[in-house]
Chains A and B, each alone.
Chain A
Amino acid sequence: MEKNKKTFELILNSDIYSLSVVFGAAYIFIDKAYISLDGDPKKKIKVFFKAKPETSHNELKQIVDDFKNELLNYSLREQIVKSNQKVREIIIAQALLSPLYNAFSDFTEDSEEEEDYIEDPLGITKTWEKHFGKKEKLSVKKKKNAKT
């Protein structure tokens, strides 16, 4: 809505455009025009545009039109942020927990290294003969001795 040659008033439905969207869009244009907000953030948000001394009427009109486009842009961005919130949380959690996970896995690897399989403390790699061969020979000798 055009109030006079140097000011514009835009009335926005807060069901369509949230306050954060209006703030975000307004921030982009505060170097081009004087912007102030009024009304009720839960019902209707009034955005007042006033031309800066060096800004012409047509330029101000263009700024208001660009502001409307920026509102749509910010609304879309806000929707994307909301829809991707869980994914972002998971990515952040993963990024924060990965150093802990790495530290834990290093710890478990170290503990595994303590019980090195090459050392074979239980003698799993030894053959049956190596384990029991000598005993058998001994038992055979004992039998021979007993006969004599």
Chain B
Amino acid sequence: MLKLKLNSRFYNKTAIDKTIKDYSSLGNIKSIKKGNYFIISFDKIDLDVKKIITDEFSNYALAQMIKNK
């Protein structure tokens, strides 16, 4: 299982949820908040995208933050 930590002072829940929704076709993605971080876990991810999914996810979440501003 892959994990990604995103700082909640830079990324809000709306952006994370939208990213999870848009990436849901690639596997099981869930997020929980611990302190100042969103812990995003990736399970049963397509092998084709497994190497890049966390990085792509963080880029996409960042883009959502900017679009929502």
In the complex, are the beta carbons of A30 and B59 less than 8 A apart?
Answer: yes
Report the bound CA distance from A37 to B10 in whole Å. 7
CB closest chain-A residue, reference B7? A38
Number of interface residues of B (CB under 8 A): 16
In the complex, are the beta carbons of B66 and A23 less than 8 A apart?
Answer: yes
In the complex, are the beta carbons of A27 and B55 less than 8 A apart?
Answer: no
Report the bound CA distance from A35 to B55 in whole Å. 8
In the complex, are the beta carbons of A23 and B69 less than 8 A apart?
Answer: yes
Interface size range on A against B: 10 to 19
In the complex, are the beta carbons of A38 and B62 less than 8 A apart?
Answer: no
In the complex, are the beta carbons of B62 and A37 less than 8 A apart?
Answer: yes
Q: 19 new A-B pairs (CB below 8 Å) besides A23-B69, A34-B56, A37-B11?
A: A19-B10, A23-B62, A23-B66, A24-B66, A26-B62, A27-B62, A27-B63, A27-B66, A30-B59, A30-B63, A34-B55, A34-B58, A35-B62, A36-B59, A36-B62, A38-B10, A41-B10, A52-B55, A53-B51
